[in-house]
């Protein structure tokens, strides 16, 4: 029986966070009472005309440059015609044959090393409104339409069929999301729909050059749905082929509850979009200087940043990857490193306690009360021997909730490390006297017993003893 390999291509829609919509000056704000973020233009009232929002073009170029795309010199809009009540004009203004950007790529990490995933094209288009049903679409007695979202700018990013597994597909989306977040053109929130994903998938016997017949999967609202649906669809297609069947080219929808993909429409039922050049908009000639200006304004991208962390800060690959995963985290890290030149220690703290508490409390970095300056002060207290690393965690937790400076907390709670030999000697002697068994073990060559004794001393001092000093004093007496 032949072994099969999977071929996946993704179409990702990203909402751009411009202040106003793509063709009018209605707000793009999420939410709001139904049909309050609208005007005659985004409602498509008779006689109205679209005018391109320059910021949308700028953001599209920004994202495209970050994805290593070529920016077209000449680009135009087209109408995609089909009837659906969430579309005010019954056509969508999109880009058909001359998109703003093509020929890009991004890199994902696979077990065999980094892999380039091609980006065939990136284009601009308008979003549609939303239908509101009572219950489900099939049983609702009537449906209402909310056009608040109609005309919100989108970019559609189409990958080449370069992804070979559901895991690679998820990695691609995560990487794409990270890069777009770095450029600042979108929030990329899958749960709010500002990043949406459709997948094209086919399988073929390993070693075959030609692509198999593909299906398209829609309604993928999370990475989990993406991964699960692709696994399901891979298995389904292989089963069909192994049973001697043929794959039907069709659009399928992911049913999260059932955990399977279901047929939505066949190729014959597919829309003929009857595309035509949008006569209400003039083609855009993209000024090269403008493109270079936008390129110049791009922040350092995650890939470059990661390499720099490995090279300049000698961070392990893993630490560098996580620290650069979001721009906010990396910026925070760099502000700390600027004030304190032990990147590894900073990295450990950020990836450890800092991230743990952020996740625990569900807090964004921007809302975190611990300033980089405060974190650095805490690290300095450890270096100076004022507090132990263990006490530092207690102090940090307090900093995290109250926003107070480390010094103030240490002082207020009396957490200063005991480094005074004279104060420590009686405590050490008391512990030795109270644990003859452990002393005997140590003398019998069981090194582990020393750790136990150190722990006992720390316990007796509520963790305030300087661990180095404790070690030293114990060894002197054993």
Nearer to another protein, 132 or 360 (CB): 132
Q: By CB under 8 A, name the one of 2, 32, 36, 51 that touches another protein.
A: 51
At closest approach, how far in Å is the CB of 262 from another protein? 20
**Contact between 275 and another protein per CB under 8 A:** yes
Contact segment (CB under 8 A) with another protein among 249-257, 267-275, 386-394, 429-437 equals 267-275
Q: By CB under 8 A, name the one of 2, 29, 36, 45 that touches another protein.
A: 45
Q: By CB under 8 A, name the one of 29, 49, 425, 440 that touches another protein.
A: 49
Contact segment (CB under 8 A) with another protein among 41-49, 67-75, 237-245, 404-412 equals 41-49
Compute the distance between CA of residue 265 and CA of residue 84 in angstroms, rounded to an integer.
15
Compute the distance between CA of residue 185 and CA of residue 61 in angstroms, rounded to an integer.
10
Nearer to another protein, 80 or 393 (CB): 80
3 state DSSP class of 253:
strand
Nearer to another protein, 282 or 285 (CB): 282
Contact segment (CB under 8 A) with another protein among 45-53, 60-68, 303-311, 452-460 equals 45-53
Compute the distance between CA of residue 156 and CA of residue 64 in angstroms, rounded to an integer.
11
**Contact between 286 and another protein per CB under 8 A:** no
Contact segment (CB under 8 A) with another protein among 47-55, 65-73, 237-245, 322-330 equals 47-55
Q: How many CB atoms lie within 10 A of CB 140?
A: 13
Instruction: Sort strands 215-220 and 250-255 into parallel, antiparallel or unpaired.
Output: parallel
Those residues with Cβ within 8 angstroms of residue 439's Cβ, 6 or more apart along the chain or in another chain: 432, 449, 453, 478
User: Residues 416-455 vs another protein: string with x where CB under 8 A?
Assistant: ----------------------------------------
**Contact between 143 and another protein per CB under 8 A:** yes
Those residues with Cβ within 8 angstroms of residue 447's Cβ, 6 or more apart along the chain or in another chain: none
User: Residues 382-411 vs another protein: string with x where CB under 8 A?
Assistant: ------------------------------
Q: By CB under 8 A, name the one of 98, 145, 240, 405 that touches another protein.
A: 145
Distances (CA, A) of 304 to 63, 104, 320, 324, 424: 16, 17, 11, 9, 50
Q: By CB under 8 A, name the one of 280, 292, 317, 383 that touches another protein.
A: 280
Q: 124 forms bridges with which residues in the sheet? A: 155
Q: By CB under 8 A, name the one of 114, 207, 209, 279 that touches another protein.
A: 279
Distances (CA, A) of 345 to 157, 395, 408: 38, 17, 22
Binding residues for another protein, rule CB under 8 A, total 30
Q: By CB under 8 A, name the one of 5, 11, 43, 165 that touches another protein.
A: 43
Q: 197 forms bridges with which residues in the sheet? A: 12, 220
> Phi and psi for 137 in degrees, rounded to 5?
-65, -25
3 state DSSP class of 274:
coil
At closest approach, how far in Å is the CB of 40 from another protein? 5
Long-range residue pairs from 327-334, CB within 8 A, at least 24 positions apart, any chain: 327/181, 327/182, 327/184, 327/299, 327/302, 328/364, 328/365, 328/366, 329/365, 330/302, 330/305, 332/365, 332/372
Q: Which of 193, 146, 153, 191 is nearest to 33 (CA)?
A: 146
Q: Which of 458, 441, 459 is nearest to 449 (CA)?
A: 441
At closest approach, how far in Å is the CB of 53 from another protein? 11
Q: Which of 379, 421, 420, 383 is nearest to 396 (CA)?
A: 379
Nearer to another protein, 84 or 239 (CB): 84
User: Residues 63-102 vs another protein: string with x where CB under 8 A?
Assistant: ----------------x-x-x-x--xxxx-----------
Q: By CB under 8 A, name the one of 40, 403, 451, 455 that touches another protein.
A: 40
Nearer to another protein, 53 or 202 (CB): 53
Structure tokens at 298: 């791009």
Q: By CB under 8 A, name the one of 160, 240, 281, 416 that touches another protein.
A: 281
Nearer to another protein, 2 or 85 (CB): 85
At closest approach, how far in Å is the CB of 145 from another protein? 7
Query: 109, 167 in Cβ contact below 8 A?
Result: no
At closest approach, how far in Å is the CB of 90 from another protein? 4
Nearer to another protein, 131 or 460 (CB): 131
Compute the distance between CA of residue 444 and CA of residue 432 in angstroms, rounded to an integer.
15
Nearer to another protein, 77 or 396 (CB): 77
**Contact between 274 and another protein per CB under 8 A:** yes
Compute the distance between CA of residue 115 and CA of residue 329 in angstroms, rounded to an integer.
25
At closest approach, how far in Å is the CB of 122 from another protein? 22
Q: By CB under 8 A, name the one of 14, 20, 26, 50 that touches another protein.
A: 50
Q: 270 forms bridges with which residues in the sheet? A: none
Binding site for another protein (CB under 8 A): 40, 43-52, 79, 81, 83, 85, 88-91, 143, 145, 272-276, 279-282
């Amino acid at each position: 029986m032949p072994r099969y390999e999977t071929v996946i291509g993704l179409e990702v829609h990203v909402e751009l966070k411009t202040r106003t919509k793509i063709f009018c000056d209605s707000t793009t704000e999420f939410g709001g009472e139904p049909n309050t973020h609208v005007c005659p233009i985004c409602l498509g009232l008779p006689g109205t005309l679209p005018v391109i929002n320059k910021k949308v073009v700028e953001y599209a170029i920004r994202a495209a440059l970050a994805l290593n795309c070529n920016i077209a010199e000449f680009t135009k809009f087209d109408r995609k015609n089909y009837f659906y009540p969430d579309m005010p004009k019954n056509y969508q203004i999109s880009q058909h044959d001359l998109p703003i950007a093509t020929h890009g790529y991004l890199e994902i990490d696979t077990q065999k090393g980094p892999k380039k995933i091609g980006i065939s094209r990136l284009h601009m288009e308008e979003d549609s409104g939303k239908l509101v049903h009572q219950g489900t679409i099939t049983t609702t007695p009537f449906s209402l339409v909310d056009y608040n979202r109609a005309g919100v700018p989108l970019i559609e990013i189409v990958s080449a069929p370069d992804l070979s597994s559901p895991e690679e597909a998820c990695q691609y989306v995560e990487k794409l999301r990270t890069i777009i977040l770095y450029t600042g053109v979108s929030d990329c929130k899958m749960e709010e729909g500002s990043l949406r994903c459709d997948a094209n998938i086919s399988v073929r016997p390993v070693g075959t050059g030609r692509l198999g017949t593909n299906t398209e999967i829609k309604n993928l609202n999370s990475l989990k749905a993406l991964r699960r649906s692709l696994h399901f669809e891979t298995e389904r297609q292989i089963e069909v082929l192994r049973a001697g069947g043929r794959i039907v080219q069709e659009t399928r929808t992911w049913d999260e509850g059932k955990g399977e993909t279901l047929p939505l429409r066949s190729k014959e039922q597919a829309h003929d979009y009857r595309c035509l050049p949008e006569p209400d908009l003039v083609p855009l000639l993209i000024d090269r200087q403008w493109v270079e200006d936008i390129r110049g304004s791009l922040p350092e991208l995650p890939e470059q940043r990661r390499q720099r962390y490995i090279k300049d800060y000698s961070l392990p690959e893993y630490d560098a990857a996580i620290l650069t995963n979001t721009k906010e985290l990396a910026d925070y890290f760099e502000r700390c490193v600027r004030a304190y030149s032990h990147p590894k220690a900073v990295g450990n703290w950020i990836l450890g306690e800092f991230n743990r508490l952020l996740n625990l409390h569900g807090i964004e970095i921007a809302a975190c009360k611990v300033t980089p300056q405060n974190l650095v002060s805490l690290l300095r207290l450890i270096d100076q021997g004022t507090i132990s690393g263990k006490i530092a965690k207690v102090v940090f937790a307090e900093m995290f909730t109250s926003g107070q400076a480390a010094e103030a907390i240490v002082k207020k709670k009396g957490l200063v490390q005991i480094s005074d030999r004279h104060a420590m000697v009686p405590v050490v002697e008391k512990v030795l006297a109270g644990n003859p068994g452990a002393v005997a073990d140590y003398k019998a060559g069981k090194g582990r017993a020393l750790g136990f004794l150190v722990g006992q001393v720390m316990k007796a001092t509520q963790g305030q003893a300087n661990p180095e000093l404790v070690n030293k004093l114990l060894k002197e007496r054993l």
